[in-house]
Amino acid sequence: MTDEYLNIRQMGDRYEVTARTLRFYEAKELLSPIREGQKRLFTRRDQARLKLILRGKRFGFALEEIRQLLDLYDMGDQQKTQLGATYETGKGHLETLKARHGELGEAIKDLTAQLDWAEKELTTL
- Residues forming contacts to DNA in the complex (CB under 7 A) are 7-10, 18-21, 23-24, 28, 37-40, 57, 62-64
Is there a contact between 28 and 66 (Cβ–Cβ < 8 Å)?
no
Does the protein bind a copy of itself through residue 64 (CB under 8 A)? no
The torsion angles phi and psi of 108, rounded to 5 degrees, stand at -65, -40
Identify what 43 binds: a copy of itself, DNA, none; CB under 5 to 8 Å per kind: none
CB atoms within 10 A of CB 89: 14
The C-alpha atoms of residue 2 and residue 117 are separated, in whole angstroms, by 55
Identify what 121 binds: DNA, a copy of itself, none; CB under 5 to 8 Å per kind: a copy of itself
Q: Which helix (H) or strand (E) holds 47?
A: helix 44-58
Whichever of 1 and 122 has its CB closer to a copy of itself, that residue is 122
Does the protein bind a copy of itself through residue 16 (CB under 8 A)? no
